[in-house]
Amino acid sequence: MQGYVEKDQYITRTGAKVGDLIFISGYLGSAAYGLELIKNSNSELRNDFTDAFLYPRPRNNEGILIAKYATAMIDISDGFFIDLQKITTHVGLGFEVDVSQLPIAGNLTKELTLNKSVKYALLGGDDYELCFTIPPHLESQFLDELSSESNLDFSCVGEIKGSDEVLTFGDKAYDLPNHMFEHFK
């Protein structure tokens, strides 16, 4: 997808600052699970998971709204964890993410164990939701505008930090599962 953007309206991956909050649009994990179902199926399986993979919904309108507040933004194509690293590593920053706050698709948690659902949400690709950072002083204004302008859910999952990459599940350390996906690797 390509298009035009007004001068000074383009949000890059490299604008995040220490203390910015990390948000995600929509829900994660369904597309990666749908791809796995397609790869492992002998028939033309079709369900919400395969549809999430085959027919992604670009968040164009939401991206325009988010751009008023965001310091950095990326679409989640290679998986949330990998794409968040693309926001932070190029500018020498890190993050702390509470994995229990990841917006996992409800039907995914009914289909799989919590651990597998988290793995798909954290590492699965092709969701094409948006990962973005917002300064904390703009959070309430952003959420107020969002509630009146968009039906999509947005989740705050963490904060940009100095240089470490920290994952927790609530107040406990969370070990990253084995890597799942990256385009062109």
Q: State percent of the chain over pLDDT 70.
A: 93
For the stretch 110-151, pLDDT in tens is: 999 999 999 999 999 999 999 999 999 999 999 999 878 888
pLDDT at 148: 84
Would you say residue 9 has pLDDT above 80? no
Higher-confidence residue of 61 and 80: namely 80
Q: How far apart are CA 94 and CA 33, in angstroms?
A: 28
Would you say residue 1 has pLDDT above 90? no
- Parallel, antiparallel, or unpaired for β 165-169 and 94-98? parallel
Q: How far apart are CA 168 and CA 157, in angstroms?
A: 10
Q: What is the mean pLDDT of the chain?
A: 90
pLDDT at 34: 93
pLDDT at 18: 98
Contacts with 57 (C-beta within 8 Å, 6 or more apart), sequence order: 128
pLDDT at 74: 96
Would you say residue 44 has pLDDT above 50? yes
Would you say residue 31 has pLDDT above 70? yes
Average pLDDT over residues 69-73: 97
Go through the domains of the chain in sequence order and give each one's CATH number: 21-173 (3.90.650.10)
Q: DSSP class of residue 178?
A: P
pLDDT at 152: 86
